[in-house]
Amino acid sequence: MGFEIPQNGFLVDQADSKRQVRPIIGSLSSAEVILQTMIPVVLFVAAGFILRRTMSLDFHPISRVALYVFSPALVLNALVAPQMSLGTAMRIIVFAVMMVVGALGISRILGWLLHQTRAQQSALDLTTVFSNSANLGLPLVAFSLGQASLHAAIVFVLTQIVAVNTIGAYLAGRGGVDPLQAFRRMMRLPSLWAMMVALALLVLHLHLPSGIATADRFGSQAYAPTVLVVLGSTLADWRQRQFRQLLPWLGAAVRLIVMPLMSVLVVMILSLSTPIARALVLQIAMPVAVNALILSREFDAAPDQVSQTIAFSTLSGIVTIPLWLAFMPAIRG
């Protein structure tokens, strides 16, 4: 699966294209890259916000459609296309595992210091562990770093997709129930079964029938816009006092500052090549993943806290992401 950036700035699947993605950070400023990436995000969030305010949109059914229909389609579509050599992919997976462990460690320490409830701790876990590496990270890597970095970024996104539908589902589920019941809830998610189907297809060297593959591709493309609309409708219910709450701002700071700094250390420990190291650090520097909101809503894991952290980190990312882009030349494998 290859990717190229057309003139309108959107990331487009070009599976049969032979053209290479080249870094264009020299021809576009960081502000222009951020702007072209953020425009579709802002439009879908604004649509959800307006629909909620003007038509009292009930976003709970939409959230469930995203979780039970579009999310498994995304998982299946992403996992059936290998990206690079197994050895390089395994090192990226090791990086992803180390980041999850580190993020959970930071989250649990903060939760203990702040005396969080179980639901609040689950929300902090979700917003600390998962970054918006697909919707924001991939376009930024493609625009600024080039083909080698993009391949690494895609493998990292695949690990995030697997993690959010396994570890993420468990973390969200334990926010309101005991761990065993959380595990049972996780096993009922269709995304997990879609992942198993995808792995079986890869092992057996099989392909989806063309009609099913087309439907799966359409479903995967609908996931990101749908969850962004849900996010916008959630933000429409905010009150001014919620902007003064500590936890969302703290979660955003951990996601945008602490985790990228940790990733710099991890890529140095793993001795990753320069293009791969830069791609992974930039992916970790993204705001909170919007699918954390879908999981928190489904399992009642402090969804208001999660939605606020997503919004705060996305807004703050307008400042922090250009700073991390400027820092990229200093990262060398």
- The Cα–Cα gap between 87 and 316 comes to 36
> What is the CA 69 to chain-centroid distance, rounded?
18
Residue 303 has which token pair? Answer: 């969804």
Query: Which whole number is the average pLDDT over 182-187?
Result: 70
**Residue 280 tokens, joined:** 């992974």
Residue 301's pLDDT is: 85
| Domain 34-330: CATH architecture, name and number where available | Up-down Bundle (1.20)
With both helix axes pointing from N to C terminus, report the angle between 274-284 and 147-164 in degrees, rounded to the nearest 10.
Answer: 40
Residue 143 pLDDT > 80 = no
Query: Does residue 139 register a pLDDT over 80?
Result: no
Domain ranges within the chain, ordered by starting residue: 34-330
Q: Supply the DSSP string of 102-169, one letter for each residue.
A: HHHHHHHHHHHHTT--HHHHHHHHHHHH-B-IIIIIHHHHHHHT-HHHHHHHHHHHHHHHHHHTTHHH
Q: Which of the pair, 148 or 160, is modelled with greater confidence?
A: 160
Most confident range (mean pLDDT) of 100-104, 112-116, 159-163 is 100-104
pLDDT for 281-291, tens place per residue? 999 999 998 88
Contacts with 100 (C-beta within 8 Å, 6 or more apart), sequence order: 129, 163, 167
What mean pLDDT is reported for the chain?
Answer: 79
Residue that wins the pLDDT comparison between 28 and 226: 226
Round to whole Å and give the CA distance between 226 and 201.
27
Provide CB contacts within 8 A for 304, sequence distance 6+. 234, 242
pLDDT confidence band for 30 (50 / 70 / 90): low
Asked if residue 212 has pLDDT above 80, the reply is: yes
HSE toward the beta carbon, residue 321, CA cutoff 13 A? 32
Q: What is the pLDDT of residues 225-258, one digit of tens each?
A: 887 888 788 778 766 555 567 788 888 999 999 9
